[in-house]
Structure 1
Amino acid sequence: MQLQGKRGAEVKVSVNNKEYGTYSLDKNQTVTIGEDDWENILIIKDGKASMEKADCPDKICVNHAAISKKGETIVCLPHKVVVEVVDENGTQDGNQIDIISK
Protein backbone atom coordinates (compact mmCIF):
# COMPACT_ATOMS: atom_id res chain seq x y z
CA MET A 1 0.00 0.00 0.00
CA GLN A 2 2.82 2.42 0.77
CA LEU A 3 4.29 1.97 -2.72
CA GLN A 4 1.30 3.75 -4.22
CA GLY A 5 0.74 6.24 -1.41
CA LYS A 6 0.21 9.89 -2.18
CA ARG A 7 2.71 12.52 -1.18
CA GLY A 8 1.80 14.26 2.05
CA ALA A 9 1.86 18.00 2.68
CA GLU A 10 3.04 18.13 6.29
CA VAL A 11 4.47 16.12 9.15
CA LYS A 12 2.68 16.17 12.47
CA VAL A 13 4.89 15.61 15.51
CA SER A 14 3.43 14.30 18.77
CA VAL A 15 5.21 13.72 22.06
CA ASN A 16 3.53 11.52 24.65
CA ASN A 17 0.23 11.72 22.68
CA LYS A 18 0.24 15.53 22.74
CA GLU A 19 0.68 17.58 19.58
CA TYR A 20 4.16 19.12 19.48
CA GLY A 21 3.93 20.81 16.08
CA THR A 22 3.07 20.53 12.40
CA TYR A 23 5.69 21.30 9.75
CA SER A 24 5.47 21.70 5.98
CA LEU A 25 7.29 19.18 3.79
CA ASP A 26 7.76 21.97 1.23
CA LYS A 27 10.13 23.94 3.47
CA ASN A 28 13.63 22.66 4.26
CA GLN A 29 14.04 22.95 8.03
CA THR A 30 15.50 21.45 11.17
CA VAL A 31 13.17 20.77 14.09
CA THR A 32 14.49 20.15 17.58
CA ILE A 33 12.12 17.96 19.59
CA GLY A 34 12.74 17.38 23.25
CA GLU A 35 12.65 18.25 26.87
CA ASP A 36 15.30 18.95 29.50
CA ASP A 37 16.77 15.46 29.58
CA TRP A 38 16.43 14.25 25.97
CA GLU A 39 16.52 15.49 22.37
CA ASN A 40 15.60 14.36 18.86
CA ILE A 41 16.52 16.26 15.68
CA LEU A 42 14.09 16.01 12.75
CA ILE A 43 15.30 17.12 9.31
CA ILE A 44 12.85 18.10 6.57
CA LYS A 45 14.61 18.36 3.23
CA ASP A 46 13.51 17.99 -0.40
CA GLY A 47 9.97 16.97 0.59
CA LYS A 48 11.06 14.20 2.99
CA ALA A 49 11.39 13.99 6.76
CA SER A 50 13.97 11.94 8.63
CA MET A 51 15.23 11.72 12.18
CA GLU A 52 18.85 12.82 12.06
CA LYS A 53 19.72 12.50 15.74
CA ALA A 54 18.29 11.02 18.91
CA ASP A 55 19.92 10.43 22.25
CA CYS A 56 17.80 7.34 22.94
CA PRO A 57 19.59 4.02 23.43
CA ASP A 58 18.31 2.07 20.40
CA LYS A 59 18.41 4.69 17.56
CA ILE A 60 15.69 2.86 15.59
CA CYS A 61 14.14 6.20 14.62
CA VAL A 62 17.48 7.47 13.28
CA ASN A 63 17.93 4.35 11.16
CA HIS A 64 14.40 4.61 9.72
CA ALA A 65 14.09 5.61 6.06
CA ALA A 66 12.92 9.14 5.23
CA ILE A 67 9.14 9.55 4.98
CA SER A 68 7.03 11.61 2.58
CA LYS A 69 3.80 9.71 1.80
CA LYS A 70 0.55 10.07 3.74
CA GLY A 71 0.33 7.56 6.54
CA GLU A 72 4.07 6.94 6.91
CA THR A 73 5.49 7.34 10.40
CA ILE A 74 8.74 7.48 12.32
CA VAL A 75 8.49 6.51 15.99
CA CYS A 76 10.95 6.97 18.84
CA LEU A 77 9.53 4.74 21.58
CA PRO A 78 11.94 5.72 24.37
CA HIS A 79 11.01 9.41 23.95
CA LYS A 80 7.37 8.76 22.97
CA VAL A 81 7.81 10.76 19.75
CA VAL A 82 5.64 10.06 16.70
CA VAL A 83 6.24 11.80 13.37
CA GLU A 84 3.47 11.15 10.84
CA VAL A 85 2.93 12.39 7.30
CA VAL A 86 -0.49 14.00 6.81
CA ASP A 87 -2.28 15.91 4.08
CA GLU A 88 -3.01 19.65 4.19
CA ASN A 89 -6.06 18.95 6.39
CA GLY A 90 -3.93 17.25 9.02
CA THR A 91 -5.21 13.74 8.27
CA GLN A 92 -3.34 10.64 7.21
CA ASP A 93 -5.99 9.55 4.74
CA GLY A 94 -7.85 12.14 2.69
CA ASN A 95 -10.77 9.76 2.15
CA GLN A 96 -11.42 9.17 5.85
CA ILE A 97 -13.08 5.81 5.24
CA ASP A 98 -13.59 3.44 8.15
CA ILE A 99 -13.72 -0.23 7.32
CA ILE A 100 -15.85 -2.50 9.46
CA SER A 101 -15.66 -6.24 9.10
CA LYS A 102 -18.26 -8.74 10.26
Structure 2
Amino acid sequence: MKKNDWILAGTVLIAALFFLVGNCFTERRGKDAEKYLRIKVDGEVFREVSLEEDAEIAIGEHNRVKIQDGQVEMIWADCPDQICAAHPKISKNRESIICLPNKVILEIVDRADEGSKENDAVAG
Protein backbone atom coordinates (compact mmCIF):
# COMPACT_ATOMS: atom_id res chain seq x y z
CA MET A 1 0.00 0.00 0.00
CA LYS A 2 1.18 3.48 -0.80
CA LYS A 3 1.12 6.57 1.37
CA ASN A 4 -2.11 7.91 -0.17
CA ASP A 5 -3.86 4.56 0.46
CA TRP A 6 -2.99 4.80 4.18
CA ILE A 7 -4.27 8.39 4.30
CA LEU A 8 -7.55 7.36 2.64
CA ALA A 9 -7.99 4.38 5.00
CA GLY A 10 -7.29 6.59 8.03
CA THR A 11 -9.79 9.21 6.85
CA VAL A 12 -12.49 6.57 6.37
CA LEU A 13 -11.84 5.10 9.83
CA ILE A 14 -11.99 8.53 11.48
CA ALA A 15 -15.27 9.32 9.67
CA ALA A 16 -16.74 5.96 10.75
CA LEU A 17 -15.70 6.60 14.35
CA PHE A 18 -17.29 10.05 14.22
CA PHE A 19 -20.64 8.62 13.04
CA LEU A 20 -20.50 5.80 15.59
CA VAL A 21 -20.00 8.23 18.48
CA GLY A 22 -22.81 10.46 17.16
CA ASN A 23 -25.15 7.47 16.93
CA CYS A 24 -24.40 6.47 20.55
CA PHE A 25 -25.36 9.94 21.79
CA THR A 26 -28.55 9.89 19.71
CA GLU A 27 -29.56 6.50 21.14
CA ARG A 28 -29.13 7.71 24.73
CA ARG A 29 -31.27 10.77 24.08
CA GLY A 30 -33.95 8.56 22.51
CA LYS A 31 -34.12 6.24 25.53
CA ASP A 32 -35.16 9.13 27.78
CA ALA A 33 -38.04 10.19 25.53
CA GLU A 34 -41.61 8.99 25.96
CA LYS A 35 -42.31 6.16 23.53
CA TYR A 36 -45.57 4.46 22.83
CA LEU A 37 -46.99 1.72 20.63
CA ARG A 38 -49.33 2.73 17.82
CA ILE A 39 -51.52 -0.13 16.59
CA LYS A 40 -53.12 0.26 13.17
CA VAL A 41 -55.68 -2.08 11.68
CA ASP A 42 -56.48 -1.70 7.99
CA GLY A 43 -54.75 1.72 7.95
CA GLU A 44 -56.76 3.17 10.85
CA VAL A 45 -55.36 3.77 14.35
CA PHE A 46 -56.80 1.07 16.60
CA ARG A 47 -55.05 2.03 19.84
CA GLU A 48 -52.04 3.84 21.28
CA VAL A 49 -50.38 2.48 24.43
CA SER A 50 -47.41 3.74 26.45
CA LEU A 51 -44.43 1.39 26.56
CA GLU A 52 -44.07 2.17 30.26
CA GLU A 53 -47.10 0.05 31.17
CA ASP A 54 -47.10 -3.73 30.76
CA ALA A 55 -50.14 -5.00 28.92
CA GLU A 56 -51.54 -7.73 26.73
CA ILE A 57 -53.82 -6.43 23.97
CA ALA A 58 -56.21 -8.40 21.79
CA ILE A 59 -56.54 -6.95 18.30
CA GLY A 60 -59.88 -8.24 17.17
CA GLU A 61 -59.99 -12.02 16.89
CA HIS A 62 -56.82 -12.28 14.82
CA ASN A 63 -53.83 -10.98 16.80
CA ARG A 64 -52.56 -10.59 20.36
CA VAL A 65 -49.76 -8.21 21.40
CA LYS A 66 -47.69 -8.14 24.59
CA ILE A 67 -45.94 -5.08 26.02
CA GLN A 68 -43.43 -5.87 28.75
CA ASP A 69 -40.37 -3.97 30.04
CA GLY A 70 -40.64 -1.41 27.23
CA GLN A 71 -40.60 -4.07 24.51
CA VAL A 72 -43.38 -5.16 22.17
CA GLU A 73 -43.99 -8.54 20.60
CA MET A 74 -46.77 -10.24 18.66
CA ILE A 75 -47.50 -13.27 20.84
CA TRP A 76 -50.27 -14.79 18.71
CA ALA A 77 -51.66 -14.46 15.21
CA ASP A 78 -54.00 -16.65 13.20
CA CYS A 79 -52.33 -15.89 9.87
CA PRO A 80 -50.88 -18.85 7.95
CA ASP A 81 -47.26 -17.68 7.59
CA GLN A 82 -46.67 -16.61 11.25
CA ILE A 83 -43.94 -14.12 10.22
CA CYS A 84 -45.29 -11.46 12.59
CA ALA A 85 -45.39 -13.87 15.54
CA ALA A 86 -41.80 -14.96 14.87
CA HIS A 87 -40.54 -11.37 14.62
CA PRO A 88 -38.13 -10.31 17.40
CA LYS A 89 -39.31 -7.87 20.06
CA ILE A 90 -39.21 -4.18 19.14
CA SER A 91 -38.44 -1.22 21.40
CA LYS A 92 -36.74 1.53 19.35
CA ASN A 93 -38.34 4.50 17.64
CA ARG A 94 -39.80 3.71 14.19
CA GLU A 95 -39.41 -0.06 14.53
CA SER A 96 -42.44 -2.05 13.45
CA ILE A 97 -44.03 -5.46 13.21
CA ILE A 98 -46.45 -6.01 10.34
CA CYS A 99 -49.02 -8.75 9.87
CA LEU A 100 -49.98 -8.49 6.20
CA PRO A 101 -52.81 -11.07 6.08
CA ASN A 102 -54.63 -9.36 8.98
CA LYS A 103 -53.58 -5.80 7.96
CA VAL A 104 -52.12 -5.06 11.42
CA ILE A 105 -49.18 -2.70 11.97
CA LEU A 106 -47.41 -2.31 15.31
CA GLU A 107 -45.15 0.74 15.34
CA ILE A 108 -43.01 2.33 18.07
CA VAL A 109 -43.43 6.12 18.08
CA ASP A 110 -41.45 8.68 20.07
CA ARG A 111 -43.50 11.70 21.18
CA ALA A 112 -40.48 14.01 20.73
CA ASP A 113 -39.96 12.75 17.16
CA GLU A 114 -43.63 12.58 16.19
CA GLY A 115 -43.84 16.12 14.80
CA SER A 116 -40.81 15.61 12.58
CA LYS A 117 -41.64 15.36 8.90
CA GLU A 118 -38.13 14.26 8.00
CA ASN A 119 -37.94 11.77 5.14
CA ASP A 120 -35.88 8.65 5.41
CA ALA A 121 -33.08 7.67 3.04
CA VAL A 122 -35.41 5.73 0.75
CA ALA A 123 -38.11 8.40 0.40
CA GLY A 124 -35.49 11.12 -0.17
- TM score, norm. by length of structure 2: 0.67
Alignment of 1:50 with 2:73, yes or no, is yes
Gap runs ≥5 in structure 2: 1-22
Equivalent position to 2:117, from 66, 74, 96: 96
**Percent identity over the alignment?**
34
SS in structure 1 opposite 2:81?
A: coil
Quote the offset at 1:90 in angstroms: 7.7
1:96: Cα distance to partner?
A: 3.2
Distance 1:90 1:32, change over 3 A: farther
State the shift of 1:24 in Å. 0.7
Q: What RMSD in Å do the two structures reach over aligned CA positions? A: 2.3
Give the letter aligned to residue 69 of structure 2: D
Cα distance in 2 for partners of 1:76, 1:90 equals 24
TM-score, with length taken from structure 1: 0.80
Give the counterpart of 2:96 among 67, 73, 94. 73
Gaps of 5+ in 1: none
Q: Which has the higher contact order (CA 8 A, sep 6+)?
A: 1
CA distance in structure 2 between the partners assigned to 1:67 and 1:20 by the alignment? 19
SS in 1 for 2:79: coil
C-alpha distance in structure 2 between counterparts of 1:90 and 1:62, whole Å: 27
4+ residue segments displaced more than 6 Å: none
Please identify which structure carries the higher strand content: 1
| Higher Rg of the two aligned structures | 2
Matched positions, count: 94
